[in-house]
Amino acid sequence: MFKTRGFGGALILTVVATATLLADHLGFKGSTYPVSGAPRAVVAADLDDDGKVDFASADMLSNTVTLYRGEPGPEGRATPTEWGVLPLPSGAGPFDIKAADLNRDGNNDLIVANADNNTVSIFAGGDDVPPALQATVDVGGSPRGVVAVDLNRDGQLDLAVTGANCNCLTVLRNGGGFTFAQAARITGLISFRRGSCLRERRDPHLAVTKILEEA
């Protein structure tokens, strides 16, 4: 049962109905999985290199990352199974989460933008184990969105982070071994106050590159 309240409620109902119709049309069946508290973003990727997709949510109120591992299920489909909860710093306020292989070891790693303590947390992925905290990078500006893309074409994925308080895009250059140093900060280009434009673009890598080229 839905409780509607003015325009916001009507909008929510419309979105739910549209999603349901689309899912029915395509033959998808929905499932619900509990997470720690107020999920703000979610990412699906193989995080332990076993060939099955896992997922992780950035939980804003509990300052955690909730992990679900894809386990063998009926008809060969992966079935998400609770895999643990990763703590973030107190008051982190995670706002975005992405997966990418930052150290080029073949395992996807997790990158979390922490809006309330101005950092990015990096968890290293491993074979058949949950990701483990590897680094915390100060970025400032209330980070709201993050993407991993090789911006200087040296073969290592760098990080581009949107900041709501600075109205800026910060570039963190990948120095290898999970070390990141601020290489550039571009201000006054786009307002990020309502969230991350990186998430709304169809291809975030192209969006970041375009922003940098226009700076």
Strand ranges in 21-142 using DSSP code E only, listed in sequence order: 39-45, 54-59, 64-72, 78-87, 94-100, 109-114, 119-126, 129-138
Amino acid at 15: V
Kindly state the DSSP code that residue 74 receives in the 8-state scheme: G
Residue (of 98, 108, 86) closest to 41 by Cα position: 98
136 belongs to the binding site for Ca ion (CB under 5 A) = no
State yes or no: residue 187 binds Ca ion (CB under 5 A).
no
Task: Kindly tell me which residue out of 42, 45, 46, 212 binds Ca ion, with binding defined by CB under 5 A.
Answer: 46
Q: Strand, coil or helix: what is 118?
A: coil
Q: How many residues bind Ca ion (CB under 5 A)?
A: 16
Over the window 143 to 172, marking each residue x when it contacts Ca ion by CB under 5 A and - when it does not, the resulting string is: -------x-x-x-x-x--------------
Nearer to Ca ion, 60 or 124 (CB): 124
Mark the segment that binds Ca ion (CB under 5 A) among 5-13, 26-34, 70-78, 137-145: 70-78
Residue number with CB closer to Ca ion (62 or 156): 156
187-206 b/e (C-beta count within 10 Å ≥ 16 → b)? eeeeebeebbbbbebeebbe
For Ca ion, the closer CB: 53 or 189: 53
Stretch that binds Ca ion, among 3-11, 62-70, 85-93, 132-140 (CB under 5 A): 62-70
Q: Which residue has the tokens 């890598």?
A: 205
Question: Least CB distance from residue 64 to Ca ion, whole Å?
Answer: 20
Q: Between 101 and 116, whose beta carbon lies closer to Ca ion?
A: 101
For residues 23 and 63, give the distance between their C-alpha atoms in angstroms, rounded to a whole number: 31
| 101 is a site residue for Ca ion (CB under 5 A) | yes
Residue nearer to Ca ion on the CB measure, 50 or 116: 50
- Nearest to Ca ion of 47, 168 (CB atom): 47
**CA distances for 178 relative to 2, 27, 151, angstroms:** 45, 41, 16
Q: Which residue in the set 54, 66, 123, 172 belongs to the binding site for Ca ion (CB under 5 A)? A: 54
In sequence order, what are the residues at sequence separation of 6 or more whose Cβ sits closer than 8 angstroms to the Cβ of residue 10? 4
Task: Report the interface residues with Ca ion, using CB under 5 A.
Answer: 46, 48, 50, 52, 54, 70, 101, 103, 105, 107, 109, 150, 152, 154, 156, 158
